[in-house]
Structures are given as structure tokens and as C-alpha cells.
Chains A and B, each alone.
Chain A
Amino acid sequence: MSNARNIAALSTVEVGATADQTKADLNAIGVSGGRKNLIMNGGFDVWQRGTSYSGGSGAYTADRWITIGSGLRDTIKASSTIGGAFVSTFKMTATDTLSYIGVQQKVEATYDYSATVTPTYIASAWVKSNTIAQLRHYDGASNVYSTPHSGGGAWEKLTLLISGRTATSATENTLAVDSYNTVTVVGDYIEFTQVQLELGSVATDFEHRSYGEELALCQRYYWQGKLSNGQGTRYAYGTAGAGKGAGSVTFPVTMRADPTISAVTAANYNNCSHDTYSYSSISGFSHGVTVTVAGSYRAYWGVYQADAEL
């Protein structure tokens, strides 16, 4: 793709140009359309659960990203400079001899995904590693892989063309960054950032979204909050017993499904104790307590989490 052709594309309409050619032209001269990245938190700015994690697979770390592979590993929010820009990164280091390490994100489908041939996508990410690291797409039945990182410890941009795939369900359009099929040993690491999945066959520049936008997108799937003394708190008066209301919480963003509710930090309780979180819906939930002393009671300053991940 020559610069002359790119510049010409600005002032003329190329009748014969494909959508991908036009996309490549615009990308080459620095014009990058928004709302193209299907991956959320691909820049690893949002970490509602905390910025470090030590443990095995099946744990959400950075928002929307869940650990995969067997054995133990440390994950942290890190940072680096790529192309002159200071960026947040996700770094995972093996602390055990594992079958592989990695993380993945399931992309939510908004239509009946089952048994339909998916559009052509292209995934891209900046990756740094001292082992085999790659992009991997899973459709519920099989994997396709990018060319792996060289393992040389420098930043390399990986891309993966995803074409002619058939998802088996609405929750199996999954993009992973991992060392799948490679045994990792203590000290092996994969660091990555600017993970993008977009329609078409040309990988364009990473779509930067503001922290507020990214947080709101992530809160459709997970929310965590420490409530103020007045929010989710009720000074109430009641007789002793279970099932008494102690307040309700309204989520800042409508969630994907009725979420699982749990406490990150237990509330403080006056004249009552925790009973249950009930009436969980996409909009909020109620906190029920057991009143231990008839009269006024309250639950306050709890840190709650709501999980509606795929």
C-alpha cells in the first residue's frame, strides 16, 4: 500500500476499492474510525477487582479477562512505552510448571449466534514474552492461532485472521492471549496490551477509549463498589428476625444478566447481622439482614460485587 495511494484515497472515491483497502488507506494516514474494537478493556486500564492476582485459572483479573491454563501464576497491571506512547499492560508470570498460561475474553453476541458462520475478524495485540505467546481464537469447537511471539523479550505486534468460523453458542466467541500447547516454567512471562478484535481482514490502530467509557462497558459484566453511609444503607426500625431489609443498591450500568452478589468486605452492622442479598436483577439488589435486637438497625459501608460475566 503506497503512501501516494493512501493520500489519493483522501480526495478521490476509489470505485474499485474494497472496504478493507479503504480501511487500510485511512489507517495508514492516521484516520482511525471509532467503536471498532469488540474487546473491552484491551488497553488494561480498568481493574475493579485489584491490580494484582496470584493463583490459578478461572479468576477474573483485569476487567473482562479471566485466567486460563493450569497451575499458578502472578498477574499484575504493568506499564510500558510502545511507539512512544506510555501504556498500561497486563503481565502474567508463571510461578509453577504449567501446561500453559494465559487469559481470555468472551465476546458477547447480541444475536442468535449458534451455528452461524461468523464474519471475518482480525485480532491484534502488542505482546512481549520470553516464551511462546500467541493470539488464539476459540469458537466452542476448535482453535486458530496467530504466528507466535519470537520469545525474544521485545514488543512485537501479533495479528490473527479469523475467517469462516462457526460459533457453537453465543458465549463461545473467545479471544485468548496465551502460551497454549507450550509448557511454561517458573519465570516465563507474557506481557501484552492494546488487544483488539475488529471486523474485516486489516488490523488497524488500537481504538483508545476514555477511562470512563471503558469502565462503563466493563460494568455491564462486573461491578464493585463501596457504598457511602447513605447509599445502600438504611436506618430502620423492626422486630427481631431474619429477612429484614437493610437497603438496596442500584447499579450504575444495566448489567448483562441478573448478577451473582457477594461481599468483598463485610458491612458494619448495628443490631443486626448479614442474612442475604436478594432480588438480584440487571438493575440492582437488596441487602437483607437478621435483626438481633428489636428497634433501630442498620448495615453500612459494605463493599459489594455483582458478577454477570459470560
Chain B
Amino acid sequence: MTIETVKLQSSGYLINGNMNVPNDPANRHYVMVQEWIAEGNTPAPEFTDAEIAANAQAKVNSESLAYLASTDWYVTRQAETGVDIPQDILTARAEARVAII
């Protein structure tokens, strides 16, 4: 096996994009990674800047969607009974919609 890429992971390394190697000196692939590093190579970070940004946005999307879902009953109540939606809720829902990409 030829090592093309190595990426750090929380519990080891990701080799060639598909092999998860644990931090175990008895693992032959772990030994190969150490030899690869000793040759002067450097593993890539676990997450690229783009991946960090994407993960953060995914979290924002998820939290915003969850907030909208949890406050949908205000909208339903307004439609059925005419009771107004509190302004702070309306503001927060608008912010949540904008935050979702």
C-alpha cells in the first residue's frame, strides 16, 4: 500500500481518504504513518477551514430549524384564534430564517 494522503483524526489517522488507522503502535498502518512522518511529511489537519465553516453553518441551520419548529405553534394559534404572536418571537423567527443557508 502506498500512502498518498494522511489526515489527523481525533483517534488516529485517515489514510488515503478511506482507511481509519488507530493510535496503536502494534497496528502496521500506524507504523507506516510514523515512517511516512519521519520521512518529512506532515499530516493534514482534521478539518480544513472550509470544513470548519461548513460544520458551523450546519449547526446554525440545525438550531435555527429547530427553533422555528418549536415556535410554529404561535403561528398556528394566530391563524386559529387571532392571538398575536409576541414581537420578540417574530423577531427571533425572522433572524432564524435569515441564518439558514
Contact = CB atoms under 8 A, between A and B. Distances in A.
Contacts of B59: 239-241
Interface string A291-310: 11010000000000001111
A310 B20 contact: no
A262 B28 contact: no
Interface residues of A, number: 28
Interface in A228-245: 239-242
Contacts of B58: 240-242, 290, 292
Nearest to B19: A262
A260 B11 CA distance: 11
Interface residues of B, number: 26
B61 interface: yes
Chain B interface main SS type: mixed
Among B14, B15, B23, B28, find the residue whose CB has the most chain A CB atoms closer than 10 A: B28
A283 B97 CA distance: 45
A260 B27 contact: yes
29 contacts: A239-B59, A239-B62, A239-B66, A240-B58, A240-B59, A240-B61, A241-B62, A242-B58, A257-B26, A258-B24, A258-B27, A259-B27, A260-B15, A260-B19, A260-B29, A261-B20, A262-B20, A276-B10, A278-B9, A278-B10, A278-B20, A279-B11, A280-B11, A280-B12, A281-B22, A291-B62, A292-B58, A294-B62, A307-B29
Given A240-B58, A308-B26, A310-B28, 12 more contacts: A241-B59, A257-B24, A257-B26, A258-B23, A260-B15, A262-B20, A278-B11, A278-B20, A279-B11, A292-B58, A307-B29, A309-B28
